[in-house]
Structure 1
Amino acid sequence: MRMNRIVNLNLRAKLILLYFLTIFIPLLVTGQIILSVSGKKIIEQTTSITQESSTQTALNVQDRLGGYVDIVNRLSVDQTLINYLNPDRVYASELESIDAYDLYLKPVTFYDFNYKNPLAKLNILFLNATLLQDHNIFIFADDEARARRDYREAVQAGGKLVWGVSGDEVFVARSVYNIKKRLTAVISMQVPEDSLYALISESKMSDKIAVIADGGGNVISSNDRELVGRSVADRTFFRPDAAAPFEVRDSADGRSYKVIVGKLGGSSSLPDWRILTLVPIDHLIDDERKIRQTGLLVMGLGLVVSCGIFLLALGRITDRVKALVKKMQTVKNGELSLLQDEGAQDEIGALTRNFNGMIENLQRSIYENYEVNLKLKDITIKKQEAELYALQNQIHPHFLFNTLESIRMGLHNQGDEETATIVMNFANLFRHLLHWQGEFIPLREEIDLVRKYLTIQKYRFRERIQYELEIEPGLAEALIPKLTLQPLVENAVKHGAESTRSGRIRVSVRAAGDGTMVAAIVDNGKGIPPEQLARIRRELADPEIKKSGSIGLKNVHDRIHLHFGPEYGVTIDSPAEEGGTLVRVTMPIRSAKDGTEGGNRDVQSSDRG
């Protein structure tokens, strides 16, 4: 089939197709492959560079934190310092305390700390009440000092290093004890968060996001200042145990990132922190996109120029063919005119001369055949229309209605009111079927049609048939496809009620509470054998079956599917033990006013007969 379509293309289309297949598409595919390979290489290089930068940043942070650990550990094992701070040692006078401070306490902290770590702050919180404090480094551990977080956590750790965050500072602290295992002091280093931020900034992160967080997801420092002090444990990019880079879409800002995770804690002395580097995917492939765009632009310009030259040359070749085709189109529309012959002796010139000869022959024969046939055809059509109109007049509905009304009046005059009522219902039923317009009608009209039908059947079978109609008043104006319930009620009468001496038919329509309504038609007949019931269900479920043993059920089911979708339709059930048949029709509630779904759960109204 596709080959026939290609064969039937005009010459210009075939040449253009040949150009695309042999030049345009191969060049485009080759360019795309080259750009794709180079783009992936750029992404790999960018990822590698970013990972190396993240690793270097982690090493810088480790070196900085390791320096603080060295100071705290060195002071914690300095026995001379511990002896001076020993709470069991009593300084008899202020002069003796000042001498201790000048001779050892001040030098041991001043030269090794102040010159090397100007940004950090050292506190030695001692418990010796007789030793003077300088309120700078050496501070007596009174109630206020003991309430500090670094003091409390260091004491709880029992001589082990502890890391934590207090305000906008990161601290590392350790408690020291005298020879009697009595708490002597707490040595604490407080580092401004800005110093860690400076290390992150030095790595030239540009548009990347760097986050230093503890194992629980609490952000210690970040170049995104809004994240500092917050928790990212619930963010999709926080995977503290990730060993390799991974891609993730952050639910908070909706952006996609490549995340590189590096651990700081290489030993027991360093904190169990992570450095997470978030590289936006769109920026990660920015270079690749630029190269791709440039390549596509150059390739596109080349293709445009090539295509333009090709089309220009092709146009000169096919102009005469297009003129011939255009003239053929005018002939197809009934305009028989000759094409100007330029006198060329090539194939196109031969086509032009043959075409003009054909037009001349058509002009000569048009009055001999075409116009005569048109007149005969017009006469035949008018005769058929007149016969159809006469046939329609013979069965005009008013004649039937007038006849039924005459019968009803005759019965009324004879005193047979019951039969007259049945005739009137039949006339109204027939009138409804003829004058219903459109596909949808209010539910109350369908119920009224069912009521008239059951009244006629009750007249036939007398006490052998009883019926009951129930409808929620709020659903009376809901729109349904016309002739939805009447065929199902007719099936219930024919196959159910007629098979028993005391037939009962119940029709109820209720709202289901989820924007749908369910119409149930129940009879107390003999029911349907299991094999036949299974066949009917297969026919309802198979859309390929257009006709089946249950024409009314299938017709209603297919129309509901067509109007509302496959989730709605007809279901049928017939319990073998209980007998009888239950048919349910599920439809959405469509308002008669504006076509929207709705429905009120009012008090039910019923009709029995």
Structure 2
Amino acid sequence: MRKRFVRWLNDMKIRNKLIFFYVIVVMIPVLIVGFIVIQYFRLDALQKATEQTENNVQRIKTQTENLLNVPIRVSNQLLLDKDMERVATTTYSNDDPFQLVNAYREYTDFTDYVRSYSEIRSIQLYTDNPTLLDNLQFMDADSTIRATVWYEKAMQARVINWMYIDDLNHPNGVSPKQLSLVRQIFFPTSGKRSVLVIQVDTGYLNSLLSQEPFDTMIADEDGNIVAAKDPSAIGRTLVDMGFEVGGGAAERSFEREIDGMDYRVSINTLIPDSSKSGLTIVSAFSSESIVHDANRIGLIGAGLIVFILLMALLAVYFNSRLISSRLLKLNRSLNRVAEGNLDTVSRIDGQDEIGQLSEQFNYMVTNIKELMHQVYEASEANSRLEVMQREIKLKMLASQINPHFLFNALESIRMRAHVQGEKDIARAVRLLGKLIRRNLEIGNRHTTLKNELDMVESYLEIQKFRHGDRLHYTLAAQPDTLEVLLPPLLVQPLIENAIVHGLENKETEGSVALHAVRIGDEVLIDVMDNGAGMTPERLRQVEESIREKDEKEESRIGLRNVHQRLVMTYGEECGLRISSELGKGTQIYFKIPAGRDEYV
């Protein structure tokens, strides 16, 4: 694995190698650290907001409990109020109306409590006494009252219930709901039972909640909102507001999506002393509102990081390009010498290693020229046959020296590139040699799809050396297709066609994708590009040209050759199929038998 990785690095261009290590060692770690820091600040902001919400809910719970303790104490005192029992249970005569009026006038405890405690809005006692006249304090429990839920619940047990009930005695004739203490009063003297209702003044709670930074509500056990930061929420239910809390622990926090937004919800349940039912305090805040500033700062920081990284990347790119361009000049000089042009002079500025290598190259070429000149002068003294033999030997020597020299020079360049951390030139030369060697080795023998794809990959990497990041490619073959036998050089011409005709004239980035999949007893090989594409008329002309035996259109010789070899080997149904759309790209595919011994 390590050797393969090292070989892969050695095959990479110097420019790509510098960029690769910059991305791996600098860019990715910096981006990861930046992302972690941004997430940390975001989560920290959410955590602090959650803690603040829980503290606020606990504080509201304490203040609400203190408020509710006032009507509880008053109701406890009224349990033993003999004067209240006398007024409520006396049967008043219709002949003496002043008897009831005087009784009401003499009993002022309800009024005194309301005046003494701002937490209490009103006090009513509902009793089954038809001789009573309703005075907003003592009320006859007629059939309408007895049918209410709160009255029935109070008559079931001697406990305190906190309920959001109608104010039936509102002076304007309207019936707004009020948070009320509802409990049964038993009169031991008469054995009668009545229901005491103490309405709580929730104005204090609303004032308290209005100062909260987050949406906060107080609801009864049925989910009716009795007080809230938002006045429009009072009288509605938690379900209406999207805060259905359900069952669970008395104190809990959770996340919930409301109207497409993520909310953090904190719940705390308050059950006052001697009470069967209680109140639920709900506080919620939008996660987005809390992390907005953190996100904004994070985006600014991320933008600065990306900007700095891009500037550094550009610096690495231009530096690697400078190195690559000088190596390319030296490589072109080597190629000219390899072709026999000994008048070649390498002109590379600078006194670094590449500049020194250029000087050594010029010195070596000069020595070769002098050696050849000396051999030529010595051969003139011999016979014509001897001269011819010497020339043959010199040519043989040159044919041995040039590749050996080229190998040594390229190896020196490769080692220099390795030291510099840039190996794209060495990789390009290696790939080109590999491609040429493969082409020279190819005969009439069959080959595997894997070998074909190796050639294609070498060709594509050389093209990427030319086009840089403008070219992207994908090679994807199912494992069960790699050992399928097929005639050589069927795939590479299709890739070359996609690049030459589809992508080279494309100003933007281009991509080539090759897929090999097995379908039943056949293998489908598909090549697609996103290049210029063709009009329907042009597509028809291309399809006709590849089926013609005469090579009238030189630009499509490769496709014609592949198509005719497929047809001759496998039959007409296995020939090339082409689809294309102008401006979107071209797709070329063919099918061959999947058996290993299908082609010999």
Question: Structure 2-normalised TM-score?
Answer: 0.49
Which of structures 1 and 2 has the larger relative contact order (alpha carbons within 8 angstroms, sep 6+)?
Answer: 2
Question: Structure 1-normalised TM-score?
Answer: 0.49
